[in-house]
Structure 1
Amino acid sequence: MNNYMGPIHSASGFYKTPVSKGLLGVSLLSSFLLNFPLHNHRHLFLYSQAAILERHQFWRVFTSKLAFLDIKDLFVCSVLIYYFRVFERRYGSRKFASHMLATFVIGTALEMNAAFFLKWLGFKIELLPSGPMCMVYPLFIPYHFDIPRVALGHILGVPVTGKSFQYFLGLQLASGSAESVIVAVCGLFCGILWRNNFLKLQTALTIPKFVASVSHSILGRILESKVPPGDTTPMGATLELQRQEQMENLEQQMIWQAVQQQQQGQNPNVAQNLVNGPGLFGNQIDIGGLRNRLNIGGDNPPGQAEPISEENVQHLLDMGFGADRVREALQASNNNVSAATNILLQES
């Protein structure tokens, strides 16, 4: 295990990401039907704040999240869902589905209240954009703080990292109208609330295990993806997706090298360079927190692994991994849950 230097993150397709696959599939199918053969029923999927609050058409809260009525929103959001599936691999499908449920509830409530408040102030609020944007925008928060950045170069003098493309997609999605900005801001705020576990949201809005088990037994065969073939298989449907997959692998490799070199007492500044490299929309990761996760400059002597946390062991056991493999992965990753999860997924 200690000599493992291959990709620690299986990035091909939707392997180990049935929730992301289902969300993307439903969005694509419903959007296609409503924009072509069933276009006469588009009015049932409009996200109208007035119809929901004034005419009590509460069913629109759900139908408006099923499909994108704007083709641009469909394309951009689909690409973002594909990128953000990495969080389902990190959290596990049940926790990721709970995140989707919580952001749907909280994000929709924030959107409705924001639209009502602005309308009360005298601003003219038209239809809010349809589609599951309230579940996509919150993922920019963990993406900003938890995914390391790698400098790629400069465009017109502006430094660009491997994360810049996703941020540009988010800005493009929010730039359509004032209503799109409302949805974007509410989604980002929702992500902050979830990340900080405001009012114990992560516990209050979670999917019970028996519901997850029943859902898996019913939809598992449809949503599960086969183990991806070797590295020679194209990783995405477009050159952009393939480029991003390669960047994800590179970023994961850099994290792994930081762990390995720290364990061997080499180059303790790897994490510092990884975090503080120049880049557009670069995340300001707390160095102290990263040092703790990688045990850089910690109390343990170089080469001495941090004791395995039983809490981390239990977290990975809940994701369905075997106890022996969990402990080996945690030992190899110096008790880093994210790195251990990636190792376990690669072995699956």
Structure 2
Amino acid sequence: MNDYMGPMHSASGFYKTPVSKGLLGVSLLSSFLLNFPLHNHRHLFLYSQAAIVERHQFWRLLTSKLAYLDIKDLFVCSLLIYYFRVFERRYGSHKFASYMLATFVVGTGLEMAAAFFLRWLGFKYELLPSGPMCMVYPLFIPYHLDIPRVAFGHILGVPVTGKSFQYFLGLQLASGSAESILVAVCGLFCGILWRIDFLKVQTTLKIPKFVASLSCSTLGRILESKAPSGDNTPMGATLELQRQEQMEHLEQQMIWQAVQQQQQGQNINMAQNLVNGPGLFGNQIDLGGLRNRLNIGGDNPPGQAVEEPITEENVQHLVDMGFGADRVREALQASNNNVSAATHILLQDS
């Protein structure tokens, strides 16, 4: 998968992501209504474990997930939903919607069980945060495991990767209160359970095909987004193939950085530390024998530029980040088919 989630102003928008678009739209609309014109009805959307268990108001399990009653939670979760829409393109809308259903059921169950257990231990807590956080936090699991990181630099001596901003958003969302931490932990644990297919949750909590087909022919037409102009490159077919392709792109990028450092007379171990060293929430990547395979320090004289032809793999890599195919080819041509340099060109031109 991609090592970048794409910029916020990505030209692709919500193309091929109707479920993410619908989730974000419902959350924004309901939250706006409840925080302004319909604020007198906010009490119906409170996530109260006591009201659910003691007064049997089970409908709160649904209404409490429809809207964010905290503006900060609304803003942060909206950003995360937008960033994580890339998973809908990888899984497909049907599987992604089934993922949302499974995390909603399992995550809500974990939240209720944890809240009940803490009350039994004598811990006092206020209302749990409202909003579909149980469907947002589990996405950090595939985000951490499937998306390799690229080190960008340092801020105050702390290594920063291309994945750091999303992690900061998650930490900001969980740092509001003890109740927010509880919901965050339950969401992450829910993502792990789905990942390992605990008790066959992936096949048990799955939206039937006829329901998916009916939704596609009705709601899907309403939520459908137009294809970005100038982008005719098809998206990848499977998560496994894209992960393999993107890992190869990442390895080539790291090797290119190592070559540049070697030509400048720097120690090649610095490149190894860049890849395998400590990074903020980063994944370690072992280059193995790639240096020998890619002929680092081989026959090409130092400082001599070698023109690289544009590869369709690199074009697909940047197109999946949300850029148009024509702009991608121009950037790769200008950067000698280097993905990292082309990304900077595209971001500056956006």
| TM-score normalised by length of structure 1 | 0.70
CA distance in structure 1 between the aligned counterparts of 2:283 and 2:33, rounded to whole angstroms: 39
Where 2:153 maps in the other structure, the secondary structure is strand
Structure 1 residues 115 and 258: alpha-carbon distance in aligned structure 2, compared to 1, 3 A threshold = closer
Report the CA distance between 1:254 and its aligned residue: 5.8
Structure 1 residues 254 and 190: alpha-carbon distance in aligned structure 2, compared to 1, 3 A threshold = closer
Question: Structure 1 vs Structure 2: percent identity of aligned residues?
Answer: 80
The answer to whether the 8 Å contact 1:150/1:277 transfers is no
CA distance in structure 2 between the aligned counterparts of 1:75 and 1:224, rounded to whole angstroms: 23
The amino acid that maps onto 2:24 is L
Q: Tell me what 1:208 maps to.
A: 208
- Alignment map for 1:102-251 (pairs within 5 Å): 102-230=102-230
- Alignment map for 1:46-61 (pairs within 5 Å): 46-61=46-61
The answer to whether the 8 Å contact 2:98/2:207 transfers is yes
- Alignment map for 1:1-16 (pairs within 5 Å): 12-16=12-16
Report the CA distance between 1:276 and its aligned residue: 2.9
The amino acid that maps onto 1:280 is L
- Size of the aligned set, in residue pairs, is 274
Structure 1 residues 275 and 213: alpha-carbon distance in aligned structure 2, compared to 1, 3 A threshold = farther
The amino acid that maps onto 2:110 is L
Where 1:172 maps in the other structure, the secondary structure is helix
Report the CA distance between 1:229 and its aligned residue: 2.4
Q: Tell me what 2:72 maps to.
A: 72
The amino acid that maps onto 1:28 is L
Where 2:77 maps in the other structure, the secondary structure is helix
Where 2:218 maps in the other structure, the secondary structure is helix
The amino acid that maps onto 1:183 is V
Where 2:152 maps in the other structure, the secondary structure is strand
The amino acid that maps onto 1:135 is M
The answer to whether the 8 Å contact 1:18/1:223 transfers is yes
Structure 1 residues 152 and 259: alpha-carbon distance in aligned structure 2, compared to 1, 3 A threshold = closer
Where 1:226 maps in the other structure, the secondary structure is coil
CA distance in structure 2 between the aligned counterparts of 1:93 and 1:212, rounded to whole angstroms: 9
Where 1:111 maps in the other structure, the secondary structure is helix
CA distance in structure 2 between the aligned counterparts of 1:212 and 1:273, rounded to whole angstroms: 47
The answer to whether the 8 Å contact 1:164/1:281 transfers is yes
Deviations 1:90-123 (Å, cap 9, x if unpaired)? 1000000000000000000000000000011000
CA distance in structure 1 between the aligned counterparts of 2:15 and 2:118, rounded to whole angstroms: 42
The amino acid that maps onto 1:165 is F
CA distance in structure 2 between the aligned counterparts of 1:178 and 1:138, rounded to whole angstroms: 18
Report the CA distance between 1:81 and its aligned residue: 0.2
Structure 1 residues 34 and 153: alpha-carbon distance in aligned structure 2, compared to 1, 3 A threshold = same
The amino acid that maps onto 2:210 is F
Alignment RMSD: 3.6
- Structure 2 segments unaligned to the other structure (5+ residues): 232-242, 254-258, 260-271, 295-311, 326-350
Q: Tell me what 1:276 maps to.
A: 276
Structure 1 residues 259 and 227: alpha-carbon distance in aligned structure 2, compared to 1, 3 A threshold = farther
Where 1:152 maps in the other structure, the secondary structure is strand
Report the CA distance between 1:259 and its aligned residue: 8.4
